[in-house]
Amino acid sequence: MTEDAMQLAKDAEEHRQSYQAIMKASAEIGVPFALALTMFFTNLVLAHGIWMSIFAGVAVYIIVYFIVKTFFSH
């Protein structure tokens, strides 16, 4: 019985580590990248030019990255 309890505790710890890794990757990489890509294509559709689109995409990525790191990391 104690081996089962130890295995359950180990499994729970592994699940917690996996969850935290997934949330960190999605918050620090996924969300800023998705919003930057959206801004890039929006500016292309609005005919602002390639350089303005790239600049807007990079700027949005940096801004959103720091907002996510500041407010949504735990």
3-state helix, strand, coil in the chain (%, to 5): 90, 0, 10
Q: Where exactly are the structural domains of the chain?
A: 2-71
| Percent of the residues in the chain that have a pLDDT greater than 70, as a whole number | 96
pLDDT tens digits, 13-44: 888 888 888 888 888 888 899 999 999 999 99
Q: What is the pTM of this model?
A: 0.73
Residues 6+ apart with CB under 8 A from 44: 50, 53
Look at 28 and 54; give whichever has higher pLDDT.
54
Q: Quote the pLDDT of residue 1.
A: 56
